[in-house]
Copies of this chain bind each other. A is one copy, B any other.
Amino acid sequence: MIYKRQNKNKININPIQAGGILTKDARKTLIEWGDGYSVCDIWYSGKIDKIENPQIRKFINEDLPKFLGSDIARIIGGAREGICAIMHAVAKPGDIILVDENKHYTTILAAEKNGLKVVEVPNSGHPEYKIDVRDYEKLIKKHKPALILLTYPDGNYGNMPDAKKLGEIVIKYNIPYLLNAAYSAGRLPVDLIAINGDFIVASGHKSMAASEPIGVLGFRKKWKDTLFKKSFFYPDKEIEFLGHYQKGAPMMTLMASFPYVKKRVEEWEKQIEKARWFSAEMEKLGFKQLGEKPHNHDLLFFESPQLYKISQKHKEGRFFLYKELKKKGIYGIKPGLTKHFKLSTFAASKEELKKLLEVFKEILIK
């Protein structure tokens, strides 16, 4: 049975989709490598990062580390799997880890899975919900955490905390520092060494124009043996990810899109400009942007009590907004939300965003 996707080729403002839309090359590559275990055609050495044709070795051992500013990079299933593996490697059950309050929920799940206690660095609350990285220091002194994590940016407000400054603080205490770059690596320049970090996790399907599930784990050399312990019984196999590299068609799409992704991060300033312009236009309509202002990321959160008021009288109820947008070919605001919602300006052009603004205007006038 063929399953068709309804939202294909529409205006996409979904924060978790905007950075994962495949390039044309990735789309063609996907269909080439769709068969189960197809990459095993070329995978005979037991080490996927030894393959020269296609150039997987160079991609994993040179291109990705350079892109992330890490010494070493590994292909994994996604950012959350990377976070969980890092926690497993550097902390033991009962240890405390220190994370920002804006963390992704999977950070907490990974800590629970590893039996770790989590202490949170609070954000500034409504309306900006900012993380001041200086607040890590007193909690480091108090709790002596086994790991520091910073979400860069978070997935709700798109706030960009000062990762570099946190690196300067953390280095004094000799605690491993993990940057969750699921919403940054592939959208904007990130550099693990420049921020003095130990680990970075990136998401192929969230921000690197790749097919789910795929991610990248970058780290400093010194962590290699801790992270990737070898099996006692199979000395060439690593235990943490059960002896395999994530591969398959998703990895091939990551490779196929990579030249394009490398270029697009250089145009990040234009993305910020577009996001700020859009935010300002939304505020002219009476919506309130939460999170940092001026904003530094395409992920934007809005309060919209006007829409909530409309939904209470509308025959479609709280689904009216979703349906109005759908009529115009615009997807990505969660169905049923009206009081507040998040969206991304990353994939949509300024023209498309103008169309979105028009829809909001029409709704408010009606």
Interface residue ranges, A against B (CB under 8 Å): 1-8, 14, 16-17, 19-22, 25-42, 44, 54, 77, 80-81, 84, 105-106, 108-110, 112-113, 203-206, 208-213, 231-234, 237, 239-240, 242-244, 246-250, 252-253, 255-256, 258-259, 331, 334-336
Q: Is the CB of A334 within 8 A of B44?
A: yes
Which of B41, B237, B240, B250 lies in contact with A6, CB distance below 8 A? B41
Task: Give chain B residues whose Cβ lies under 8 Å from the Cβ of A6.
Answer: 41-42
Determine the residue in chain B with the shortest Cβ distance to A7. Answer: B41
A37 to B204, CA, bound (A): 10
A16, A36, A112, A231 — most chain B CB neighbours (10 Å): A36
Q: Is the CB of A30 within 8 A of B30?
A: yes
A246 to B81, CA, bound (A): 12
Q: Is the CB of B33 within 8 A of A84?
A: no
Q: Is the CB of B30 within 8 A of A34?
A: yes
- With A31-B31, A109-B237, A205-B36 in contact, do A77 and B80 touch (Cβ < 8 Å)? no
A32 to B246, CA, bound (A): 22
Task: Give chain B residues whose Cβ lies under 8 Å from the Cβ of A29.
Answer: 1-3
Q: Is the CB of A54 within 8 A of B209?
A: no
A35 → chain B closest CB, angstroms: 5
Pick the 6 closest A-B CB pairs, nearest first: A20-B36, A36-B205, A212-B248, A5-B32, A80-B242, A7-B41
A109 to B229, CA, bound (A): 11
Determine the residue in chain B with the shortest Cβ distance to A240. Answer: B113
Task: Give chain B residues whose Cβ lies under 8 Å from the Cβ of A37.
Answer: 14, 16-17, 20, 205-206, 212
Determine the residue in chain B with the shortest Cβ distance to A334. Answer: B44
Q: Is the CB of A105 within 8 A of B243?
A: yes
A4, A38, A110, A239 — most chain B CB neighbours (10 Å): A38
Q: Is the CB of B21 within 8 A of A233?
A: no
A191 → chain B closest CB, angstroms: 23
A232 to B234, CA, bound (A): 36
Task: Give chain B residues whose Cβ lies under 8 Å from the Cβ of A1.
Answer: 25, 29, 255-256, 258-259
Determine the residue in chain B with the shortest Cβ distance to A259. Answer: B1
Q: Is the CB of B84 within 8 A of A242?
A: yes
Task: Give chain B residues whose Cβ lies under 8 Å from the Cβ of A31.
Answer: 27, 30-31
A41 → chain B closest CB, angstroms: 5
Task: Give chain B residues whose Cβ lies under 8 Å from the Cβ of A244.
Answer: 80, 106
Q: Is the CB of B211 within 8 A of A248?
A: yes
A152 to B39, CA, bound (A): 24
Which of B112, B246, B258, B331 lies in contact with A233, CB distance below 8 A? B112
A255 to B16, CA, bound (A): 23
Q: Is the CB of A35 within 8 A of B17?
A: yes
Determine the residue in chain B with the shortest Cβ distance to A19. Answer: B36
A84, A113, A212, A247 — most chain B CB neighbours (10 Å): A212
Q: Is the CB of B212 within 8 A of A38?
A: yes
- With A35-B211, A255-B1 in contact, do A242 and B81 touch (Cβ < 8 Å)? yes
Q: Is the CB of B17 within 8 A of A211?
A: no
A3 → chain B closest CB, angstroms: 5
Q: Is the CB of A247 within 8 A of B212?
A: yes
Which of B33, B84, B233, B243 lies in contact with A80, CB distance below 8 A? B243
26 residue pairs bridging A and B, Cβ less than 8 Å apart: A1-B29, A3-B33, A5-B41, A6-B42, A8-B32, A14-B41, A16-B37, A16-B40, A20-B38, A22-B36, A27-B31, A34-B253, A36-B212, A77-B77, A80-B244, A105-B233, A105-B234, A105-B243, A108-B231, A109-B237, A110-B242, A113-B242, A205-B248, A211-B248, A212-B249, A249-B250
